[in-house]
């Protein structure tokens, strides 16, 4: 991306928008909407985090101390749903809104009003979801996977959850259409597909995944809804249905979904590492191909989530071999990042710390993924804490750390101010250490045979659970520090002024062509990329 | 070999960490079946390969972090692709991965081979307990439910927790050592999962479908597991206990069970007294009903109705019997007619109608239940 030449002038801050609350409700500006998405997802992150601490508090000691088992199940289920659909996914859409137009030299998103609508659906859905705690029978308690027929047994909280998922799905689909259209049509002259920054590439592929699988989820949960209320028997054997069919449909959505939550993270890391290694990204085109391969493979591995349902052996073999193959393109990505760092001239500001931390812990999640892919071993580990450890290594240490890296990387461009570097480093080290204190012991719990989603456990599991709970509270409190860092650099406007290009190695259009903070309307005239 | 080494390493680790207690378990439980030891070894081999890759990859990364910093004056080079290197690190992992999956294939084929068992047992998941039916082989016809026996006050913390807290049952599954036991799994309500880690067995139990798995225990002893698939409120409270015994002991156990069954079979014609039924009913209630309706009969407000003073329990007996037999659609009230014997149901209903402040004085005989069954 270094081959960029400047054209035209940069517009100053001619901001024409209503003020106060109406600015945010009526906004069609990609930067405002990006901000809304990010604040929304951070709020949900805190809500989901409080639920997680509720779980860990109960599991601190064996015995039932704080919650009834049925409420405990609501905690685990809602923690999952809120983190996946309320925190991680909208956060990445927030990054896409801020960054995609600026990185491709577009004035805004292609469908500005649709953009507003896809954001404002989310608070509605989140309200439904959280309100379900207060209906008779409480919130969704069948796990975030809402397996039938357990989910057909629940109270009205399940219906609220299903409606919330429908609305969030609609929001995601609209967001994806918008992102795809923007990327395909609004690129600056000269920016061919193979010159796009990798973050844009990963989002393009992610958006296609979203469009492909969100309707599948909608189908599955609609069938649960009609099974619950309209006498159908999609998942009820007594009426000729099959409970396992729900799992097949769910995971056909669910496996691409996990890549939806990590691919944009790969994109962010691929921007951050070259910037701080002061060296171009190694193997750009193989990065693009690897991302696409992961996306394609994600459609043919879903049943590795179901090795214990009793599949025919040929099916298990197919899904085992297909699953281990995903390690090839994922490995290529990790090797490319290392090769980018190799013989660079590295500095370790907070974004780089989170990016390197990401590679380290995400790779460990990849290793345990490989172990789980081996079907006979998975028979032992399926539905145990090993799986909990694995997906938190890829989702917290993966998706969440990449989001942190992206925030620290781009916040100077968004606000025109530098974040507090010292506090940022504290945030990194606290998060990194407490994350591992929380989740590393869970591998041992899983190996020893502790099932997931239980409110109380046998005495042999007590010690590791205690450690994990202490780590969880440490991790949770570290995020209060992050909130303070955000408030300082955004609302309070503290921190030294950032130059146009505070990271000397950053070379995408937002750094080379736009001042900090980026003007409300950028790229009225598109730059030319050579 | 590998296992021996790993155990030594494990012991070493324990010795190193001063606070280590016997309770820390670092690896899969020691295997008791051939499949479980295959899985144990597979996992170790995988960990070995992963450890090598880990050291290689992160060795490079941390060396680079150490040596290629600006603060030590390293100047960035500008290479950004190398086709040979990229092909190499795509192709080599591919072969490593195939090499990893290949030995697993053999184990998987063995694990899925449920043919020619010595004994076939059906395990049925109920919310929230397991039921076992010996279908074929020695012990054919034996059938019982297996309930958690950990008392409520241990769970609440008002009594010290026992050694096998949450992993103890009234009737364990008993099987002979060295025989191929095929377990058919199914469920009555929602999906459960039958797991015994020492056997390398985990098989979902799916309502309306029958799936199977198997094990051949090579050692006598008591092996414990629990339900592994979220199945509602008391998912954490439905353990599995398997007693592996010698052939002789097994034969003796079968004889004993057969006698018990004969005794039970005679029961329906017997006239029971109120006191007898109440005493029996209290036990049945403790095993099947307390989880929701509570020992006090007060239920849980907003979730499970109280039985103490309830209109239904103090009303006409026919309606009460019907609810217990057939359950209530759309609620967690299960149709106990499918799980319990006539005597048990008669006893528990008698108990409910005469416990706490309920004083109907009704005595429900098993024959009444028999005729009420649809």
* Nearest alpha carbon to residue A198 among A254, A263, A277: A263
Which of A63, A78, A355, A374 is the best mutation test for B, with the most CBs of B within 10 A? A374
**pLDDT score at B304:** 83
Q: Active site includes A255?
A: yes
**Nearest residue in A to B82, CA atom:** A283
The span from the CA of A23 to the CA of A31, in Å, is 12
Cβ separation A383–B202 shorter than 8 A: yes
From the list A370, A375, A458, which residue is nearest B166 (CB)? A458
Instruction: Write the ipTM.
Output: 0.91
Q: Between the CA of residue B193 and those of A282, A382, B151, B211, B230, what are the distances in Å?
A: 46, 10, 23, 11, 8
Q: Is the pLDDT of residue B87 over 70?
A: yes
**Nearest residue in B to A307, CA atom:** B203
Q: Which helix (H) or strand (E) is A101 found in, with range?
A: helix A89-104
B343 CB near a chain A CB, below 8 Å?
no
Number of neighbouring beta carbons within 10 Å of residue A105: 26
Cβ separation A70–B303 shorter than 8 A: yes
- Residue-wise pLDDT for B257-287, tens only, equals 998 888 776 666 678 888 888 888 888 888 8
Please tell me which residue in A58, A76, A77, A144 is annotated as part of the active site.
A144
Closest CA of chain A from B220, distance in Å:
20
* Nearest alpha carbon to residue B32 among A334, A167, A443, A380: A380
Closest CA of chain B from A431, distance in Å:
20
CB-CB contact of B173 with B192 (8 Å): no
Q: Is the pLDDT of residue B13 over 60?
A: no
For residue B98 the two structure tokens come to: 């195939």
Question: Chain B window 225-254: which residues touch A at a Cβ cutoff of 8 Å?
Answer: 225-237
**Farthest CA pair distance, chain B:** 96
Cβ separation B303–A332 shorter than 8 A: no
The span from the CA of A90 to the CA of A84, in Å, is 9
- Residue-wise pLDDT for B113-156, tens only, equals 999 999 999 999 999 999 999 999 999 999 999 999 999 999 99
For residue B17 the two structure tokens come to: 């960490």
**pLDDT score at B260:** 84
Q: Active site includes A14?
A: no
- Residue-wise pLDDT for B22-65, tens only, equals 468 889 999 999 999 999 999 999 999 999 999 999 999 999 99
**pLDDT score at B23:** 63
Cβ separation B46–A453 shorter than 8 A: no
The pTM of this model reads 0.88
Q: Is the pLDDT of residue B1 over 60?
A: no
Q: What is the dihedral of CA A249, A250, A256, A262, to 10 degrees?
A: 180
Q: Between the CA of residue B103 and those of A321, A366, B110, what are the distances in Å?
A: 12, 20, 11
CB-CB contact of B156 with B265 (8 Å): no
- Residue-wise pLDDT for B231-240, tens only, equals 999 999 999 9
The span from the CA of B356 to the CA of B374, in Å, is 30
Query: E-strand spans in chain B?
Result: 119-126, 129-136, 143-146, 173-176, 181-187, 192-196, 201-205, 211-215, 221-226, 239-245
- C-alpha B197: how far from its chain's center? 10
Q: Once rounded to an integer, what is the mean pLDDT over residues B61-72?
A: 94
Supply the DSSP string of B118-179, one letter for each residue.
Answer: SEEEEEEEETTEEEEEEEESTTTT-EEEE-B---HHHHHTSSPPPTTTTS-BSS-EEEETTS
**pLDDT score at B179:** 96
Please tell me which residue in A30, A31, A56, A79 is annotated as part of the active site.
A79
Q: Active site includes A17?
A: no
* Nearest alpha carbon to residue A86 among A41, A36, A132: A41
Q: Between the CA of residue B254 and those of A135, A345, A371, B72, B117, what are the distances in Å?
A: 50, 75, 41, 77, 18
From the list B39, B157, B202, which residue is nearest A308 (CB)? B202
Contacts of B207 in chain A (CB under 8 A): 149, 237, 243
More confident residue, B254 or A20: B254
Q: Is the pLDDT of residue B15 over 60?
A: no
**Nearest residue in B to A135, CA atom:** B302
**pLDDT score at A5:** 44
Contacts of A492 (CB under 8 A, 6+ apart): none
From the list B65, B109, B167, which residue is nearest A356 (CB)? B65
Residues across chain B: 374
Is cis: bond before B132, omega within 30 of 0?
Answer: no
**pLDDT score at B365:** 87
Closest CA of chain A from B183, distance in Å:
12
List, for chain A, all residue ranges whose pLDDT scores fall below the cut of 50.
1-13
Q: Active site includes A79?
A: yes
Considering chain B, what is the average pLDDT of its residues? 88
């Amino acid at each position: 991306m270094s081959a960029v030449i400047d054209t035209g002038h940069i517009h100053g801050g001619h901001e024409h928008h209503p003020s106060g609350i109406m600015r945010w409700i009526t906004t069609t500006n990609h930067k405002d909407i990006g901000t809304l998405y990010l604040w929304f997802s951070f709020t949900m992150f805190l809500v989901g985090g409080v639920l997680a601490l509720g779980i860990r508090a109960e599991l601190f000691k064996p015995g039932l101390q704080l919650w009834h088992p049925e409420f405990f199940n609501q905690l685990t289920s809602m923690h999952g749903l809120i983190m996946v659909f309320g925190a991680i996914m909208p956060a990445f859409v927030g990054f896409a809104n801020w960054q995609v137009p600026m990185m491709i030299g577009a004035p805004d998103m292609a469908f500005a009003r649709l953009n507003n609508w896809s954001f404002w659906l989310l608070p509605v859905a989140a309200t439904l979801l959280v309100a379900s705690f207060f209906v008779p029978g409480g919130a969704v308690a069948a796990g975030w996977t809402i397996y039938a027929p357990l989910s057909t047994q629940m109270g009205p909280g399940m219906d609220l959850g299903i409606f919330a998922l429908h609305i969030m799905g609609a929001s995601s689909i609209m967001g994806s259409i918008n992102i795809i259209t923007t990327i395909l049509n609004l690129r600056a002259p000269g920016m061919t597909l193979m010159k796009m920054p990798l973050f844009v590439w990963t989002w393009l592929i992610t958006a296609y995944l979203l469009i492909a699988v969100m309707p599948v989820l909608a189908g599955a949960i609609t069938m649960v809804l009609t099974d619950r209320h309209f006498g159908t028997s999609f998942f009820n054997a007594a009426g000729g249905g099959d409970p396992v069919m729900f799992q097949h449909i769910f995971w056909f959505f669910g496996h691409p979904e996990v890549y939806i939550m990590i691919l944009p993270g790969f994109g962010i890391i691929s921007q951050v590492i070259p910037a701080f290694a002061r060296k171009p990204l190694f193997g750009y085109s193989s990065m693009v191909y690897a991302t696409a391969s992961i996306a394609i493979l994600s459609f043919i591995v879903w049943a590795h989530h179901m090795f214990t349902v009793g599949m025919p052996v040929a099916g298990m073999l197919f899904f085992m071999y297909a699953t281990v193959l995903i390690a090839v393109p994922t490995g290529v990505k990790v090797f490319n990042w290392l090769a980018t760092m190799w013989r660079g001239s590295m500095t370790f500001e907070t974004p780089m710390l989170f990016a390197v931390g990401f590679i380290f812990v995400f790779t460990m999640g990849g290793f345990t993924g490989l172990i789980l892919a081996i079907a006979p071993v998975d028979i032992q580990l399926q539905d145990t804490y090993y799986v909990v450890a694995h997906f938190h290594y890829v989702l917290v240490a993966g998706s969440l750390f990449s989001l942190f890296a992206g925030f620290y990387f781009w916040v100077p461009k968004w606000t025109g101010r530098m974040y507090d570097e010292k506090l940022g480093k504290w945030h990194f080290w606290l998060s990194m250490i407490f994350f591992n204190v929380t989740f590393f012991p869970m591998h041992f719990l899983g190996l020893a045979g502790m099932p997931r989603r239980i409110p109380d456990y046998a005495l042999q599991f007590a010690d590791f659970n205690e450690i994990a709970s202490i780590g969880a509270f440490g991790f949770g409190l570290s995020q209060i520090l992050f909130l303070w860092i955000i408030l300082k650099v955004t609302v309070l406007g503290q921190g030294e002024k950032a130059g146009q290009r505070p990271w000397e190695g950053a070379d995408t259009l937002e750094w080379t062509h736009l001042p900090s903070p980026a003007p409300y309307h950028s790229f009225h005239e598109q730059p030319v990329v050579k | 070999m590998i296992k021996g080494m790993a155990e030594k390493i494990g012991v070493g680790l324990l010795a190193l960490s001063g606070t280590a207690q016997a309770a820390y378990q670092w690896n899969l439980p020691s295997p008791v079946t051939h499949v479980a030891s295959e899985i144990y070894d597979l996992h170790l081999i995988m960990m070995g390969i992963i450890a090598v890759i880990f050291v290689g990859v992160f060795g490079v990364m941390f060396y680079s972090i150490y040596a290629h910093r600006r603060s030590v004056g390293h100047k960035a080079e500008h290479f950004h692709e190398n086709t040979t290197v990229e092909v190499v690190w795509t192709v080599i992992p591919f072969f490593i991965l195939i090499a990893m999956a290949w030995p697993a294939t053999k184990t998987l084929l063995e694990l899925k081979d449920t043919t020619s068992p010595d004994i076939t047992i059906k395990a049925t998941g109920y919310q929230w307990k397991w039921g076992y039916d010996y279908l074929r082989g020695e012990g054919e016809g034996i059938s019982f439910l297996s309930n958690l026996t950990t008392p409520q006050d241990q769970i609440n913390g008002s009594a010290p927790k026992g050694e096998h807290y949450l992993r103890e049952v009234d009737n364990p599954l008993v099987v002979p050592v060295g025989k191929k036991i095929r377990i058919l799994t199914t469920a009555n309500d929602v999906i459960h999962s039958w797991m015994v880690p020492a056997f390398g067995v985990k098989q979902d139990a799916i309502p309306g479908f029958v799936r199977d798995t198997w094990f051949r225990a090579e050692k006598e002893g008591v092996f414990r597991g629990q339900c592994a698939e979220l199945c509602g409120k008391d998912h954490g409270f439905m353990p599995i206990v398997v007693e592996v015994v010698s052939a002789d002991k097994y034969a003796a156990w079968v004889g004993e069970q057969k006698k018990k069954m004969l005794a039970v079979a005679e029961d329906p014609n017997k006239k029971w007294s109120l006191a007898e039924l109440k005493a029996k009913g209290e036990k049945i209630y403790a095993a099947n009903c307390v989880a929701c309706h509570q020992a006090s009969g007060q239920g849980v407000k907003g979730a499970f109705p109280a039985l103490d003073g309830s209109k239904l329990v103090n009303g006409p007996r026919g309606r009460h019997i019907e609810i217990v037999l057939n359950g209530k659609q759309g609620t967690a009230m299960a149709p106990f007619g499918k799980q319990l014997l006539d005597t048990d149901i008669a006893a528990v209903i008698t108990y409910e109608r005469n416990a706490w402040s309920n004083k109907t004085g009704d005595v429900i005989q098993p024959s009444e239940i028999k005729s009420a069954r649809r």
